[in-house]
Amino acid sequence: MFGLYEMAFAGLTWGNILMFCLASAMIYLGIVKKMEPLLLVPIGFGIILVNVPFAGLMTHTQPTELGAVPMPVEVQGGLTEIMRAMSKGEVGVLNLIYQFGIQGEIIPLLMFLCIGAMTDFSPCIARPIYLLFGAATQLGVFVVLILALLTHQFQLGEAASIGIIGGATGPVAIYFTVAKAPHLLGPIALVAYSYMALVPMIQPPVIKAITSKKQRQIYMKPQFREVSKLEKIIFPIAIFIVTALFVPKAAPLIGMLMFGNLLYVCGVTDRLAQSASTIFVDILTILLTLTVGSLMPAVVFFNIKTLAIIVLAAIAFVICTAGGIWAVQIANLFLKEKINPLIGSAGVSAIPMAARVAQIEGQKANPRNFLLMHAMGPNMAGAIGCSVAAGIFLTMVPATIL
């Protein structure tokens, strides 16, 4: 018995201990500070699971060269081979969720369906200019792609995968990375979801740096024109058709998002919409976030590429936030009725965290402001914009060759 304990502790590295500290910090922020606990708590616990020596819940390959990022071991064959590999400790149960749910792109697409079932596009329909603000936030995606290439650490597919993080749409980042740089899925997924959860900490300094107090005080009426049921039904169908025609590679993402939204707005599929927006999305969130955390053993995290991704992703979030604000500031040069630039920051489609940040910062500057519904317009438009950007990259960017 003592030998088993000795073997377990012998496999424990300083990297594992540091990862325990990181995971504990994420769990602390989720539970005590209530910062997106649905993301941070399971991700943090997933990190703990994978960094316990010999636990075997997620098995990674060994790096083949200095700087290489290990990948989760895949299982070949049918059910018999899978059970045999698990019994031998060659793969863990989380390997299977990763391989068939995430690498197979099933969970990210179904997550987008659930997001659509929880989404009200009325602000975008009432004020189509909000779609432009959501598109403008994709500025950071393209800037960081270029920056990543300039580091000479990443190929084009890897650089595009890092840039997509700035759109703050986790399922899109995972979907694209699986297609173009699957070996970076662990760090990219972890960074994407962690930064999404930390939007309330990342965005306020950026907002204050590029807007004046007078701009943040701009009052917007809480109500906009009433959107008819027919408009709500036509919107998801029209958006999907137009997007699929111009950017076919974005069709799976936009299709799932808009199908979920159609279930929500049509009025005759309330049971399906309710299931998608409650128990189904909860199950998918557990599977996705726990697996995302378990993709990060110490050997993956303490890697030069991972550390570069952390820095570049932060830059992407900053530039995406700024891009939405700048778009509103430019629009205000031509508008009689001014728009509060804070809602542009919500184009970073961390739903609904970015919209909440706009609301909170707006009320700090002007207690009369109620920006939440307005901010939800760019917020949801950002999800569409990020999907379109991913579709463009999927069409133009070659997969990474290792």
- pLDDT tens by residue, 271-329: 999 999 999 999 999 999 999 898 888 888 888 888 899 999 999 999 999 999 999 99
Decide if pLDDT at 352 tops 90. no
The rounded distance, in Å, linking the Cα atoms of 99 and 122 is: 37
- The pLDDT of residue 195 is 86
110's torsion region: left (phi>0), alpha (psi -120 to 50) or beta?
Answer: alpha
Decide if pLDDT at 81 tops 80. no
Decide if pLDDT at 8 tops 70. no
Our count of domains for the chain comes to 1
* Cα Rg of the chain, angstroms: 21
Name the band, by pLDDT with cuts 50, 70 and 90, for residue 63. low
Task: Quote the domain boundaries for residue 108.
Answer: 104-396
- The pLDDT of residue 324 is 94
Name the band, by pLDDT with cuts 50, 70 and 90, for residue 53. confident
Give the bridge partners for 60, in sequence order.
72
User: Which residues contact residue 189 at a Cβ distance below 8 angstroms, ignoring those fewer than 6 apart?
Assistant: 102, 170, 173, 174, 177, 292, 295
- Considering the domain boundaries, does residue 149 fall inside one? yes
The rounded distance, in Å, linking the Cα atoms of 381 and 73 is: 37
Give the bridge partners for 72, in sequence order.
60
Helices and strands (H and E) in the chain: how many: 23, 0
Mean pLDDT lowest among 63-72, 227-236, 261-270: 63-72
Identify whether the C-beta of residue 81 lies closer than 8 Å to the C-beta of residue 332.
no
What digits encode the pLDDT tens for the residues 300-310?
888 888 889 99
Name the band, by pLDDT with cuts 50, 70 and 90, for residue 6. low
The rounded distance, in Å, linking the Cα atoms of 160 and 141 is: 8
The rounded distance, in Å, linking the Cα atoms of 72 and 260 is: 31
Name the band, by pLDDT with cuts 50, 70 and 90, for residue 116. very high
Q: For 289, phi and psi rounded to 5 degrees?
A: -70, -40
- Considering the domain boundaries, does residue 71 fall inside one? no
Average pLDDT over residues 197-224: 90
77's torsion region: left (phi>0), alpha (psi -120 to 50) or beta?
Answer: left
Decide if pLDDT at 225 tops 80. yes
Nearest to 308 by CA among 151, 141, 142, 139: 151
Other Cβ atoms closer than 10 A to 215? 19
- Considering the domain boundaries, does residue 229 fall inside one? yes
| Structure tokens belonging to residue 131 | 């779609």
- In the block, tokens 């708590």 appear at 41
Identify whether the C-beta of residue 157 lies closer than 8 Å to the C-beta of residue 398.
yes
- The pLDDT of residue 64 is 54
- The pLDDT of residue 328 is 96
- Considering the domain boundaries, does residue 197 fall inside one? yes
Decide if pLDDT at 57 tops 60. yes
| Structure tokens belonging to residue 313 | 């992703």
Helices 251-265 and 106-117: crossing angle in degrees, nearest 10, is 30
Decide if pLDDT at 224 tops 90. no
- Considering the domain boundaries, does residue 38 fall inside one? no
The rounded distance, in Å, linking the Cα atoms of 176 and 274 is: 28
The rounded distance, in Å, linking the Cα atoms of 234 and 231 is: 5
CA dihedral defined by 76, 77, 78, 81, rounded to 10 degrees?
-80
| Structure tokens belonging to residue 389 | 């950007």
Decide if pLDDT at 65 tops 60. no
The rounded distance, in Å, linking the Cα atoms of 78 and 97 is: 15
Length of the chain: 402
According to the 3-state scheme, what is the secondary structure of 274-288? HHHHCHHHHHHHHHH
75 against 212, higher pLDDT: 212
- Considering the domain boundaries, does residue 64 fall inside one? no
Q: For 60, phi and psi rounded to 5 degrees?
A: -110, 155
Q: What is the largest distance, in Å, between two alpha-carbon atoms of the chain?
A: 77
- Considering the domain boundaries, does residue 86 fall inside one? no
Name the band, by pLDDT with cuts 50, 70 and 90, for residue 5. low
Nearest to 349 by CA among 382, 319, 393, 315: 382
- In the block, tokens 């950002």 appear at 382
| Structure tokens belonging to residue 5 | 């304990």
Name the band, by pLDDT with cuts 50, 70 and 90, for residue 197. confident
- The pLDDT of residue 210 is 95
Residue 2: HSE in the Cβ half-sphere, 13 Å Cα cutoff: 0
Helices 170-180 and 251-265: crossing angle in degrees, nearest 10, is 150
Mean pLDDT of the chain: 88
Decide if pLDDT at 58 tops 90. no
Nearest to 384 by CA among 244, 206, 204, 207: 244
User: Mean pLDDT: which of 227-241, 284-298, 336-350 is highest?
Assistant: 227-241
Nearest to 190 by CA among 300, 65, 275: 300
Residue 118: HSE in the Cβ half-sphere, 13 Å Cα cutoff: 19
- Considering the domain boundaries, does residue 46 fall inside one? no
